[in-house]
Amino acid sequence: MKSPALITAGAAALLAGGAALGQVALALVVALLQLLTAAGWFRLNGMWPARQGILLAALAGFTADAAVLLADSDGGVAAVVGTLGGFFLLVLVLQTFRPSDPKERFYALTVLGSATVVTVLCTALLLADWVPAAVGAVALATLLAAAPLPGPKQLGPVLGLAAAVALGLLVGAPVALGALAGLGALVGRRVAAYDFPSRFVHMTAGVALPLAVAAPLVWIATELLA
pLDDT tens string 23-56: 999 999 999 999 999 999 988 887 766 788 899 9
Least confident of 114-118, 124-128, 130-134, 151-155: 151-155
Give the integer Cα–Cα distance in Å for 217 and 223. Answer: 10
Q: How many CA atoms lie within 13 A of 124 on its CB side?
A: 25
Q: Is the pLDDT of residue 131 over 60?
A: yes
**The pLDDT value given to residue 49:** 63
What does pTM read for this prediction? 0.93
In angstroms, the Cα distances linking 106 to 51, 100, 109, 110, 166 are 18, 10, 5, 6, 44
Give the integer Cα–Cα distance in Å for 188 and 206. Answer: 8
Give the integer Cα–Cα distance in Å for 119 and 108. Answer: 16
